[in-house]
Structure 1
Amino acid sequence: MLTPEGRSDPYPALAALRLAAPVHRSAALGSHVLTRFADCQEVLTGPAFLVPDRAWCAREVPDQRGRPGADFFYSSLLGTNGAEHARHRRLIVGAFGARQVAALQATTEKITDELLDGFADATASGGTADFQELVGRPLPVALVGALIGVPGAEQGRLEQLGRGAGRLLEPLRSPEDWARADRAVTELRAYFTGLLAERRAAPADDLASALLDQCRAVDPPPTDLELADLLLLVFVAGFETTTGLLGTAVHALLTHPEQLALVRQDRALVPAAVEEALRWDSPVLMTERLAARPVTVAGVPIPAGGSVTAVLAAANRDPQRHPDPDAFSVRRPDHRALSFGHGPHHCPGAALATAEGTTLIARMLDRFPALTLAGPPVRRDAVALRSFDVLPLATTG
């Protein structure tokens, strides 16, 4: 998984590891690596496991204390447990319910159509274009920006900063990763702190204003920094994982023409195609947990404080969970996967991300009946985040 070949296609090695050692002690990661669905689900759901938090950071990596990146990562919604995590989550979970996602549908359709207009222009008369540049990245950035209240003119700059903050999700971070993340978090915190100040003076119909309204419902009330960090996390997570999903879904369909034909014939299969893309190549490869007490996973003892890494992508291709797991099948009877996590840290924006994917695929099929790959795609140079940096497509044969 840590080599260029493994980053491109980790699945053969993960399948071999699942057979040989489903609970494997990795010296490189300093963690027990889990590759079976049941084991990963247990770790993500069970009370015996926690996420690394601020106390863990102070104890295990004291040299990172005081860094903006570490302070954000180990104290935000991503890095809190128990009552503190529930307190953070209560502030934003309402923003991603079924009613809220439905209310955003018109905005999703409008942004999608505008971006596809540009993609159509770029590929007219037999031309080729990078889908990720024109659609896959700007669509989730624009939608999460509209949700939060970030003006369109600011979204491109914040996306670049967000990609720097996204390096915090990598299992092994270089000094360059830390420096880039520190700069990004510092600038993003300043931006969202300013946005919250603007909304206090002039509320709007967006998440920034909604968070301020929710403050009285949480005890103790969140600080300005906690609110800024929530907006930072929603923004970065809202486009990073969805960008991966959109590129993967399009690529999976175009490289499986028989499945694409099924979806073209029956548009009711579009949601299933998006769910299968999430299962087949998860936008997030892995996530870490810590044992809160001595515990056993599949017969392997894990000491208190011991690290375990749930490889979500491997769990989603566990043949004990999904027969013929390497096949991409839109008519699979059960697509349920761990791509958005499970348990207390299940991604609150999962429904919004899948709605974006469903809208995009449906509209692309309507507009581009001859859509095809136009060159080799380029994978993102990352381990934890599965995404394409470049996905060249053409709309005419």
Structure 2
Amino acid sequence: MTTFAGCQAVLTGPDFLVPDREWCERRIPEGIGRPAADFFYSSMLATNHDAHDRLRRLVVRELSARRVAALRARVEELGAELLDAFAEAAAGGAVADFHELVALPLPVAMVGELIGVPRADQQGLSLLGDDAVRLLEPVRTPEDWARADRGVGGLRTYFAGLLHERRSRPADDLASALAVGPLTDSAGLTDDELVDVLVLMFAAGFETTAAMLGMAVHALLSHPEQWALLRRRPELVPAALEESLRWDAPVPMTERITARATEVAGVPLPAGASVIAVMAAAHRDPEVFADPDAFTIGRPDGRVLSFSAGAHYCVGTALARLEGVVLLRQLLHRLPRLTPSGPPTRRTGDGLRGFTRLPLALAG
């Protein structure tokens, strides 16, 4: 499905479900018995109805609009710290990697602190997260499975230890809320399920946000007239972030399975059919977006499906948008002479978009 209306119908309609464990066992036999598949097809990403709701409500409370708004000062503090380090690395005309120095460590630090991961452990866990998200590849190679197993195994071991520690020494963080919170008891989750909630929150909390930050900066700097407009009109920062999510989003597609015989965009579908919602195409739908291939930060038609929609709408959306808006505003004030310095390096695979290297410099 490639139209905006079609993708929205697939993501929000009651006739469409995410592929779950039962589907995995029928359609992906090579995943049976693998730690990565066991994790993924038990997570919020791959469960439906009551099984999904009991997991989701544990973290929705911790990522409420009020809780996220209270994190603004910390996002600003971390953003300033990282941009200072970038400016130092780029001093004297040097080229510095924006992805490594800013776009990646900001969301890693934020989700790490939210969960309760010490700063010293965050970088190592982010490498495991990179391996774990190979699960999002639409076609997984043996190497993808091996990396995903390694990443999930390492993250599970770490967060099992963190939950054990928080039960004896609770703190003001998500790990403690899950370890000793009354909501966890009422949901009846096992320790293994609690561990997997933290694994998912950590990996999902930085991968797509880091990609979003890098791609937003790249889109603006590769369209200098739009960067100049934003410098003149900083009130357009939220709109600029939304336009970058439309123009080049971290998650280009997602899969749904028909729960029963149905129809979408005039196409009849049997029960059990696999439907791919290609949000990257939907965001270029000329029926919705005027001049859809143009990157235009002031466009009035700013709707996006970048955070999905319906029951599986991303619970971390508010935090991701906060990080994006804060960082872009800080760039305007602190590094207005930022400029591209060589081609960026895209991450491999089709499941997620983003950069592994984004070389930038400060113009003289």
Q: Which amino acid aligns with 2:282?
A: A
> 1:240-279 alignment to 2 at 5 Å?
240-279=207-246
Residue 291 of structure 1 is matched in structure 2 by 258
Say how many residue pairs are matched.
364
Q: Distance in 2 between matches of 1:183 and 1:195?
A: 19
Closer, same or farther: CA 218–200 of 1 in aligned 2, 3 Å: closer
Q: Distance in 2 between matches of 1:156 and 1:356?
A: 18
Equivalent residue for 1:47, pick from 14, 22, 26: 14
Report the counterpart of residue 318 of structure 2 in structure 1: 351
What are the residue-to-residue correspondences of 1:162-201 with 2, within 5 Å? 162-201=129-168
TM-score by length of 2: 0.97
Of 79, 83, 94, the residue aligned with 2:46 is 79
Given candidates 94, 101, 108, the residue that maps to 1:134 is 101
Conservation of the 8 A alpha-carbon contact between 2:99 and 2:358: yes
- Paired with 1:378 and 1:80, the residues of 2 have a C-alpha distance of 34
Amino acid at match of 2:44: L
Aligned: 1:234 with 2:201: yes
Q: Please, what TM-score do these two structures have when normalized by structure 1?
A: 0.89
Deviation for aligned residue 1:62: 3.0
* 1:64 corresponds to: 31
Q: Which residue of 1 aligns with 2:298?
A: 331
3-state SS of the aligned residue for 2:33? Answer: coil
CA contact (8 A) 2:288 2:301 kept: no
What CA distance in whole angstroms lies between the structure 1 residues aligned with 2:259 and 2:147?
A: 31
Amino acid at match of 2:134: R
Unaligned runs of 5+ in 2: none
- What residue ranges of structure 1 are gaps of 5+ in the alignment? 1-33
What value does the CA root-mean-square deviation take over the aligned residues?
Answer: 1.2
Distance in 2 of aligned mates of 1:327 and 1:387: 19
Q: Secondary structure at the match of 1:181?
A: helix
Contact 1:49–1:289 (CA under 8 A) maintained in structure 2: yes
CA contact (8 A) 1:215 1:221 kept: no
Looking at structure 1, the residues matched to 188 and 203 of structure 2 have their Cα atoms a distance apart, in angstroms, of: 24
Residues 87, 218 of structure 1: 8 Å contact kept: no
Question: Aligned AA for 1:336?
Answer: R
Structure 1 residue ranges, 4+ long, deviating more than 6 angstroms after superposition:
none
Q: Name the structure 1 match of 2:91.
A: 124
Match of 2:331 in 1: 364
Q: CA deviation digits over 1:340-382, x for unaligned, max 9?
A: 0000000010110011011111111111121100111111112
* Aligned residues with identical type, % of pairs: 61
> Partner of 1:309: helix, strand, or coil?
strand
Aligned counterpart, 1:13: none
Q: Which whole-Å CA distance do the structure 2 matches of 1:104 and 1:58 have between them?
A: 41
Secondary structure at the aligned position of 1:305 is classed as coil
Q: Secondary structure at the match of 1:372?
A: strand
- Deviation by residue 1:232-263 (Cα, 9 ceiling, x = unmatched): 11111111100110011101111111111121
Distance in 1 separating the partners of 2:94 and 2:279: 37
Q: Does 1:342 align with 2:347?
A: no
CA contact (8 A) 2:58 2:183 kept: no
Whole-angstrom distance in 2 between the partners of 1:320 and 1:214: 47
